[in-house]
Amino acid sequence: MGHTLAEKLLMKNTGIEDIKPGDIVITHPDRYLTLDVYSSHVLKKYNEMEFEMVKHPEKMVLVSDHIMPCCVPKSDPRVYNSLLELAERTGATDIHLGEGICHSLMHEYRYAKPGTLVTATDSHTTTYGAAGCFCTGIGHTEYASVLGTDELWLKVPSAIKIVIDGKLPRGVYSKDVILKIIGDIKADGGQYKSMEFTGSTVADMSMHARFTISNMSLEAGAKCALFEVDQKTADYFDMDLSEIDWIKIDDDANYEHVLHYRAEEIEPQLSCPKGVDDVNGISQVLGARINEVYIGSCTNGSIEDLAVVAEILKGKEVDRFTKVIIVPATNRAFTEALRRGYIKTFLDAGCMVSHPCCGLCCGMPFGLMSDDEVVLGTNNRNFIGRMGTKKSMIYLASPAVAAASALTGVISDPRDLY
């Protein structure tokens, strides 16, 4: 019997030769990430657990991104300082303060590599599954336990294979693909499961496009969202493909379901304010009024996303009464966007450009909406009140839809611009 990607990666980490869904295995994660928001909680729990020392401080990554820079003087500086305190107490050395969003940094700095197992105190830890890395989120108490034990129990998940074949039409991106899938399988369709992606469309996708899918799969409840590795993966991580080409789906692996999609049939998709799985093709929501556009986040704030937006906005002006906020995911993406002239394009078009951070997606520190206001974002979730008051509304879409809509102040189809 062959194996799914999740099984292969868990077998590699544990050294157990044959595992099946439902087995509980003890893993030793290769890297563990935590953030500003959780640092004080990790430290408190770690102290209460009475461990003598952190087993592998060199495996830790600490990132200040959610509350960076500090916004509310009463609470935020305390959060920032707790991360520094955690670093000092544990001996962690891989620390990134205000350099960008943790999940984007995890693959940009090659902390999360193909064939490894990574955990973090954040739900979107699924992101690096695009690189053939088994990665999944935990809470701060469990993180404290991992520091002291270097162990994490995991139940081997059953898996769904998602086969996407064909060529995506112009103006349709990986974000549209994953929104379409979430609309079909719903917000719990991947719950406890490994979502595994394959097919010719996936093979054509860049690493950044794949990261978008793995990131967003969490919104279907996925435990992990994995891709096979290929030459693009090897190049991105500066590895030899022969070291990692075992990260392939076996033909006789056992999948709970197999879903098939044709890329040509997918139009731009929007997740509508009722919930992340209330997904509609753009033709159903064209012309809906928006007050603000947010382009950024660990889902769609990469240099490739900024390139798509710059192409649409170049030489044009955004709608006068629509606030357009662009936030590159990392300093490297920001620097490259400056070098390529994208930032000037954004500013000339009348956008606001902000520093790399989680920003509006985590409800701070700027751009929040009040009752009945509508934001169209390229981020990953539109829960009630996530980006403002509980009566504000959130649409989620690709950077191309966001840029096209920024020009008009209503939801607009990027395919009309080509």
Partner 1 sequence: MDKKITGRVWKLPDDVDTDVIISVQACLLPTVKEMSEHTLEKIRPELAKQAKPGDIIVAGRNFGCGSSREMAPECIKELGISCIIAKSFARIFYRNAINNGMLVIESPDIPDSVEDMCEITVELNKCVTIDGKEFPIPNIPENLLKIVQDGGLVKSNQKVNRARIKGGNT
For binding to partner 1 (CB under 8 A), which residues are involved? Answer: 24, 37-38, 41, 45, 48-52, 66-67, 72, 75-76, 78-79, 121-123, 125, 136-142, 144-145, 148-149, 153, 187-188, 191-192, 221, 223, 275, 362-364, 381, 383-386, 390
Contact of 176 with 264, CB cutoff 8 Å: no
CA distances from 114 to 107, 118, 134, 232, 255 (A): 10, 10, 8, 12, 22
Q: Is the Cβ–Cβ distance between 258 and 344 less than 8 Å?
A: no
CA distances from residue 42 to 117, 147, 272, 377 in whole angstroms, order as listed: 20, 9, 35, 31
Q: At closest approach, how far in Å is the CB of 123 from partner 1?
A: 4
Contact 379, 124 (CB under 8 A): no
Nearest approach in angstroms of CB 140 to partner 1 is 5
- What is the nearest approach in angstroms of partner 1 to the Cβ of residue 350? 29
CA gap 379, 395 in Å, rounded: 9
To partner 1, the closest distance from the beta carbon of 193 in angstroms equals 9
Q: How far is the CB of 310 from partner 1 (least distance, A)?
A: 30
CB of 186 to partner 1, least distance (A): 9
Least CB distance from residue 218 to partner 1, whole Å?
Answer: 9
Q: Cβ of residue 159: shortest distance to partner 1, in angstroms?
A: 14
Smallest gap, in angstroms, from Cβ of residue 371 to partner 1? Answer: 13
DSSP 223: S
- Token pair 């300093």 is at which residue? 331
Cα separation, 16 vs 18, in Å, equals 6
β-pairing verdict for 224-227 and 279-281? unpaired
Q: What is the dihedral of CA 260, 262, 267, 269, to 10 degrees?
A: 20
Q: Nearest CA to 281 among 201, 397, 164?
A: 397
CB-nearer residue toward partner 1: 123 or 331:
123
The nearer residue to partner 1, 49 or 347, going by C-beta atoms, is: 49
- Short-list 137, 107, 103, 108, CA closest to 120: 137
Spatial separation of the C-alpha atoms in residues 234 and 227, rounded to whole Å: 13
CB of 321 to partner 1, least distance (A): 27
Select 275 or 350, whichever has its Cβ closest to partner 1: 275
> For residues 376 and 272, is the Cβ–Cβ distance under 8 A?
no
Q: Which of residues 220 and 351 has its CB atom nearest to partner 1 in the complex?
A: 220
Cα distance between the two ends of the chain? 48
Strand ranges, E, within 143-185:
152-155, 159-165
Whole-angstrom Cα distance, residue 111 to residue 99?
Answer: 15
CA atoms of 59 and 62, how far apart (whole Å): 10
Nearer to partner 1, 192 or 418 (CB): 192
Taking the least distance from each CB to partner 1, the nearer of 180 and 223 is: 223
Q: Dihedrals φ, ψ of 172, to 5°?
A: -115, 135
| Residue 411 near residue 327 (C-beta atoms within 8 A) | no
Q: Write down the least CB distance from residue 124 to partner 1, Å.
A: 9
* Residues making up the chain, counted from first to last: 418
CA distance 229 to 157: 20
Compare residues 66 and 175 and give the one whose CB is closer to partner 1. 66
Query: Which residue, 392 or 412, has its beta carbon nearer to partner 1?
Result: 392
